[in-house]
Amino acid sequence: MRDDGRMNGNELASDMVSRVDHEGRVVAIERLHGLVGGGELSLDAFGLALERVLTANDDDGVANAMATVPPPVRFTPRGRKLSQPLKVNTGSNRVELGAGWQVGEHTTVKTVGGSCLVDLTAATWDAHDIDLELRTSTGTIEVLVPEGVAVQIISATGAVRVDGISPPCPGAPMVRISATTTGGHIRVAHRRTGRKRRRG
């Protein structure tokens, strides 16, 4: 610190770096490595994005850098977006919302005694941020969330479990979840519950 109370160059640089959440920067770098390793990002684009992440002065800078690379979810084309909230009521049946389904900006999933798989990794998203309401009486609902996406639990009543969700990537899409069950189970995770193999 200088005599006039101002920061010197080194202190100012250190202060600017501290404004960026360290975990967020690490997640962003891991995301970039995953994209280039999977062939979704060229080496040139990787280098440019990595430089922007490393030199970002704040979280917004990291988010802006990540906005230049493929997002962790697929977005619905503008002309196919739902014009009203999506409501899914499975009753006592077993339903899997998997490949090819479309999650609305406001989506409600209800079951009575049945089970429902809500696979957000396989869906196209109508919006950057999704409001997802989950309700079941005695059934089960399992929600699969893409890695790197932000998960915010707005409310949880009953047996609701959030299983090993990884830190979100700065600027990533978000799913806001309201979950209620009286005698069932609701689980939010990246992967399905493991099933035991049958022995022959």
pLDDT of residue 58: 86
For residue 161, give the nearest of 189, 199, 128 by alpha carbon: 189
Model confidence pLDDT, tens digit, residues 87-131: 999 989 999 999 889 999 999 999 999 899 999 999 999 999 999
Question: What average pLDDT score do residues 35-53 get?
Answer: 91
**Would you list the domain boundaries of the chain?**
9-66, 75-189
pLDDT of residue 128: 96
Q: Whole-angstrom Cα distance, residue 75 to residue 146?
A: 13
Query: Does the pLDDT value for residue 137 go beyond 60?
Result: yes
On the 0-12 / 13-18 / 19+ scale of CB atoms within 10 A, 154 is exposed
- DSSP per residue, 109-121: EEESSSEEEEETT
Mean pLDDT, the chain, whole residue set: 86
Sequence-ordered strand ranges (E) for the chain: 74-75, 86-89, 94-97, 102-103, 106-111, 115-119, 124-125, 129-136, 140-144, 150-157, 160-163, 174-181, 185-189
Confidence of residue 57 (pLDDT cuts 50, 70, 90): confident
Query: Does the pLDDT value for residue 199 go beyond 70?
Result: no
Q: Whole-angstrom Cα distance, residue 116 to residue 37?
A: 33
Model confidence pLDDT, tens digit, residues 116-125: 999 999 999 9
Query: Does the pLDDT value for residue 196 go beyond 80?
Result: no
